[in-house]
Amino acid sequence: MAHRTTRLRATEITARKGTAFPVMTAYDAPFARCAEAAGIDVLLVGDSLGMVVLGYTSTTPVDLEDMIRHTAAVVRGTKTAHVIADLPFGSYEASDADAVTSAIALVKEGSASSVKLEGGAEMAARIAAIVGAGIPVCAHIGLLPQTAPIGDGFALRRDRDALLHDAHAVADAGAYAVVLEVVEADIAAEITSQIAIPTIGIGAGPSCDAQVLVLHDVLGLYPDPPKFAKAYANLANDATNALRAYAGEVRSGAFPPRRVPR
Ligand code: KIV
């Protein structure tokens, strides 16, 4: 089979509806390279960046400049992956024009393949405006981390009618896929069966078309992962042990090695 040389397009992601596929967050070139080497071809530069990389306690402080810098790094670390960039809090809520301007910056300066924004029916006009500017949009409904601390909190979302309404609204507005975050599994299954675009679940049960997790939770690099996440490694331990070994060798004089006399 010929290797592809171009990045996966949003339309190809939509065409995966009904086929399970993995999505992973990424924030820098080295880990993006690892994800692509592992066969993951949809990478999300989430504004979870703020918590897992920048050390904030929420995603709220992340700004457009942060997102552009880290999106560009993920793009530089990959060749054919589709790179979704989050529109950070404050960069799209005020108007359709703001949303389009911010989305263009992520594509133009960050080389994003598409953008993601949080919100359901209330964001339909924003989604349509960005899609109208030629930029594919991944929607995000259910738990919305950008406003959860000052809004509805972090509990499981189980308002079936509101969630179905939001899912149809974002699909009708032109989104090519939709993230369902912390949505009751039966409702996520119902949404997945009703809309024509792929659902990408996170804490939303096994019936979504795709699954996404936060890289640092999967690799055991974040000290406070959500209950639904699964760690496939403990890189925090591995890194600490490697650094302890280095520190010990410097203190003992074992590193660097003495030059062997000729
Ligand atoms: O910011 C992020 O990582 C996200 C995922 C949790 C879907 O939006």
Let me know if residue 54 belongs to a domain: yes
Pick the atom of ligand 1 nearest to 118's CA: 8
* CA distance linking residue 79 with residue 59, whole number of Å: 28
- Cα separation, 209 vs 50, whole angstroms: 27
Q: Tokens at residue 160, please?
A: 């079936």
CATH code of residue 218 = 3.20.20.60
Question: pLDDT tens digits for the chain (262 residues)?
Answer: 568 999 999 999 999 999 999 999 999 999 999 999 999 999 999 999 999 999 999 999 999 999 999 999 999 999 999 999 999 999 999 999 999 999 999 999 999 999 999 999 999 999 999 999 999 999 999 999 999 999 989 999 999 999 999 999 999 999 999 999 999 999 999 999 999 999 999 999 999 999 999 999 999 999 999 999 999 999 999 999 999 999 999 999 999 998 866 6
Kind plus residue range of the DSSP H or E element containing 140: strand 137-142
Distance 254 CA to ligand 1 centre (A): 43
Q: How far apart are CA 149 and CA 104, in angstroms?
A: 28
Contacts of 250 (CB under 8 A, 6+ apart): none
Residues ≥6 apart with Cβ < 8 Å to 89: 47, 59, 60, 62, 146, 147
The whole-angstrom separation of Cα 113 and Cα 48 is 18
Residues 214 and 47: their CA atoms lie apart, in Å, by 10
Q: Is residue 70, in this structure, part of any structural domain at all?
A: yes
Write the single-letter amino acid at 41: D
Which residue lies with its CA nearest to atom 5 of ligand 1?
A: 46
- Measured in Å, residue 127 CA sits from the centre of ligand 1 at 18
Q: Which residues are identified as catalytic?
A: 181
Q: Is residue 4 part of a domain?
A: no
Whether residue 1 lies inside any domain: the answer is: no
Question: In this predicted structure, what is the pLDDT of residue 3?
Answer: 82
Predicted local distance difference test score (pLDDT) of residue 86: 98
Which residue from 223, 66, 200, 225 is spatially nearest to 74, judged by alpha carbons? 66
* pTM higher than the cut 0.85: yes
In 3D space, the residue among 110, 20, 100, 21 whose CA is nearest the CA of residue 71 turns out to be 110
Indicate if ligand 1 lies below 6 Å from the C-beta of 49.
no
Cα-to-centroid distance, 251 and ligand 1 (Å): 41
> How far apart (Å, rounded) are the C-alpha atoms in residues 45 and 88?
11
The atom number, within ligand 1, closest to the CA of 48 reads: 1
Is 3 inside a domain boundary? no
Question: Does the beta carbon of 47 lie inside 6 Å of ligand 1?
Answer: yes
User: Tokens standing for 167?
Assistant: 């899912």
The count of structural domains within the chain is 1
181 - beta bridge partners? Answer: 142, 202
User: What's the number of CA atoms in the CB half-sphere (13 Å) around residue 73?
Assistant: 16
| Any atom of ligand 1 within 6 Å of the Cβ of 86 | yes
85 is a domain residue: yes
Give dist(CA 178, CA 168) in Å, integer: 10
Domain that holds residue 141: 10-233
Q: Ligand 1: distance of its center to the CA of 239 in Å?
A: 24
Say what the pLDDT of residue 260 is.
67
64, 5, 179, 104: CA torsion to nearest 10: 30
On whether residue 260 sits in a domain, the answer given is no
For residue 159, tell me if it sits in a domain: yes
